[in-house]
Structure 1
């Protein structure tokens, strides 16, 4: 699988390629009720199937309970020493079985193989898209791992910083995902109802696309972008870019000179895969967004 296709799968899993309502209905049918989760008599052995879950487990002090991770779980550095077990959508069942987990935790996605994972160990797939999802997921991860007080503290701080309304007079910002440099034909964007929309509001900006859900996929035609006419365009790249790639992305946007953001040189690029991992570190994005909004 090439890098672009793999990146697209990861982004769609995080941002919800299907409508949130449909996914919620699937979760209600397919995710075991928390109160009925079996309890192991021995020490917990947790396999994490999502980078945000891995980051959260270490942040709340439960890192020593984690025995396996996905190949994308690389934070904190201690997590890199753990065996990998594939991905959420394509887990390596043999590798998971060898680790003898007593609990598997991951993010709820439509095609996650919940039934197969449950045959190995009790599995909890948690919604992890909106701010409320993330806060509830952190608390539930704390409860499942026996580290609820620290989880409550982290979720409380995130809620305090991020549960703010869009600023009445903040600039209208298009939060865009990076595409292929030199090929700006459509724009994948970050919805207001995902945690990135909350981060933008906390940073002092308003999402130029304020619809809760736009179609099935978060994608805009260039005509729609022109009609929205954002004051600022911020491109969040899910990888580290070279300087040439950064320049090319900004240059691509200059092909839309009618946009206010382009005319006023307010098209900026932020790169880093951590921007797409909705764990406790997402608060760092607020600070980066604030700096970007102040740039002229």
Structure 2
């Protein structure tokens, strides 16, 4: 009965919206068309990077619910939580009467989304595969929320920063890189994951780019065999980075020999939102340090 009342409310909202003006349509990250009768007023974001994207578009004030760990910008901490990206509280979410869901294409499973889809709640899927997809998402979410006036310049600024990085690091000598997501067990990312796009922009070469899995487990022996010039670990800024201790005990590794064991804040690299441009800038600086250490 509760679901029926919510469904009726959504239908009434949809009907009232239809008279307000021309429909808004955009393509989302999956290539599907998302159509709204009017700009979204009640947005729920089901991944931290999605929350950051909506804020970057200038529509953070319209987010009525967000997933756990949506902690940036600081204003996001005041948004009610509806669960994690892997386990959403559907009752709590539906009670918020959303007119747009922004979901993580690779993280929010069909089991979570199916009941919402049956109620007709529009879903925008976001999973940028390249850095250039990030400003595209900002722009599209700006259209869906009626925030084009703020989203367009925000997207343009991100594109300008990326273009400046491309120009600065184009033609730099290649640097082989092992990107360490976690150390127990040891995980990395393949060439299709967006972090690899950042590595490529900086003139780096992901030594495990050719693996089939997006986030494959690898062995210490496999890393030693690849012998990367740089090891980069996602972690918290300023921490001791205990996950790099593996490589400090491996003096034969080129990255260890040259002192190229680095940490980049995880939130700047693993969240495919606007701050990933900051993370890419930091990563490029680290690879440039490695180049300067060459004999």
Distance 1:70 1:215 in 2: 26
1:289/1:132 Cα in 2 relative to 1: closer, same or farther (>3 Å)?
closer
Query: Alignment partner for residue 217 of structure 2, among 216, 219, 222?
Result: 219
Point out where structure 2 has 5 or more consecutive residues left out of the alignment.
1-28
| Partner residue in 1 for 2:179 | 175
- Aligned twin of 2:70: 73
Change (3 A) 1:159 1:123: same
Corresponding residue of 2:129:
129
Q: Quote the residue 1:51 is aligned against.
A: 48
Which residue does the alignment assign to 1:114? 113
Pair 78,101 (structure 1): closer, same or farther in 2 beyond 3 Å: same
Three-state SS of the structure 1 residue aligned to 2:263 is: strand
Contact map agreement 1:131 1:194 (CA 8 A) in 2 = no
Distance in 2 (alpha carbons) for counterparts of 1:123 and 1:139: 16
User: In the superposition, relative to structure 1, how do residues 155 and 227 fare at CA in structure 2: closer, same or farther (>3 Å)?
Assistant: farther
Structure 2 CA distance for partners of 1:143 and 1:49, relative to 1, 3 Å: same
Count matched residues: 255
Cα deviations across residues 4-26 of structure 1 (Å, max 9, x unaligned)? xxxxxxxxxxxxxxxxxxxxxx9
Give the Å deviation of 1:231.
Answer: 0.8
- Report the CA distance between 1:66 and its aligned residue: 1.1
Deviation of 1:92 (Å)? 0.9
Are the structure 2 counterparts of residues 216 and 178 from structure 1 closer, same or farther at C-alpha, using a change threshold of 3 Å?
Answer: closer
Match of 1:285 among 275, 279, 285: 279
Q: Is the 8 A contact 1:166 1:206 kept in 2?
A: no
Larger gyration radius, structure 1 or structure 2:
2
1:224 and 1:269 mapped to 2: Cα distance? 20
- Spell out, residue by residue over 1:241-268, the C-alpha distance to the aligned partner (whole angstroms, 9 max, x if none): 743xx2x333321233221111222112
Taking structure 2 as the reference length, the TM-score comes to 0.74
What's the secondary structure of 2:103's corresponding residue?
A: strand
1:96 maps to 93
Q: CA RMSD in A?
A: 2.9
